[in-house]
């Protein structure tokens, strides 16, 4: 599923879950979902992204981590898809109808800010390439973010200038206040 997601191919998580339930007698939909969340935690430990929608749960068994490591070591196509995804340049910043609407409230910490997973951290052998670090160093992604911030700032200034124009009764007021230099 991760490979398909990274390649932009469609897949059905619910159907995949039902197929696994039929193979694993006695497993509920929720237990299969939680196992996928545990796999997400292992993937993060190994420097891989995880499937969107399977928020990492850290209370996985070491056997699961071992099996995921083995599967990843044999999954050359998945490694290629991950590398392509995290190393690909950002061509352009996406267009946003109302750029000022991207402001959202800051997240609120839960009770224990030191807790990342629901279990103590276990040392895990790292893969040769940490794809999450590669993605973090992607310069084109950083440049796209800077472009977005610049557009955001320009739009705030433009809207402030419009408000100033509507408040002032004459052009002299606008020119005097310095708004003309910003436009």
Pair (130, 166) in one structural domain:
no
Q: Give a yes or no: residue 175 inside a domain.
A: yes
Of the listed ranges 7-11, 14-18, 57-61, the least confidently predicted one is 57-61
Read off the pLDDT of residues 24-48 as tens digits, 9 standing for 90 and up: 888 899 999 999 999 999 998 888 8
Please give the helix or strand (H or E) that residue 36 lies within, else none: helix 29-45
Q: How many domains does the chain have?
A: 2
pLDDT value at residue 182: 46
Gap between the Cα atoms of 49 and 43, Å rounded: 6
Q: What b/e string do you get for 13-45 counting C-beta neighbours within 10 Å, with b at 16 or more?
A: beeebeeeeeeeeeeeeeebbebbbbbbbbbbb
What pTM does this model have?
0.56
Full domain range(s) for residue 71? 1-93+118-137
Q: Give a yes or no: residue 132 inside a domain.
A: yes
Q: Give a yes or no: residue 108 inside a domain.
A: no
Pair (150, 77) in one structural domain:
no
Q: Give a yes or no: residue 48 inside a domain.
A: yes
Q: Give a yes or no: residue 107 inside a domain.
A: no
Read off the pLDDT of residues 55-71 as tens digits, 9 standing for 90 and up: 888 788 889 999 999 99
Pair (1, 70) in one structural domain:
yes
Q: Give a yes or no: residue 172 inside a domain.
A: yes
Could you tell me which of 37, 64, 38 has the C-alpha nearest to residue 52?
Answer: 37
């Amino acid at each position: 599923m991760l490979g398909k997601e990274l390649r932009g191919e469609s897949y059905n998580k619910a159907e995949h879950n039902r197929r696994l339930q039929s193979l694993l007698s006695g497993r509920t939909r929720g237990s299969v979902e939680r196992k996928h969340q545990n796999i997400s935690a292992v993937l993060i430990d190994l420097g891989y992204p995880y499937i969107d929608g399977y928020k990492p749960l850290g209370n996985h068994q070491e056997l699961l981590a071992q099996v995921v490591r083995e599967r990843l070591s044999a999954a050359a196509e998945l490694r290629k898809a991950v590398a392509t995804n995290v190393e690909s340049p950002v061509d352009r910043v996406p267009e946003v109808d109302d750029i000022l609407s991207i402001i959202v409230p800051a997240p609120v910490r839960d009770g224990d800010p030191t807790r990342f997973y629901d279990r103590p951290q276990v040392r895990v052998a790292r893969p040769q390439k940490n794809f999450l670090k590669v993605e973090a160093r992607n310069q084109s992604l950083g440049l796209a973010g800077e472009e977005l911030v610049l557009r955001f700032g320009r739009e705030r200034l433009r809207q402030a200038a419009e408000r100033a124009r509507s408040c002032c009764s004459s052009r002299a007021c606008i020119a005097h206040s310095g708004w003309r230099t910003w436009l």
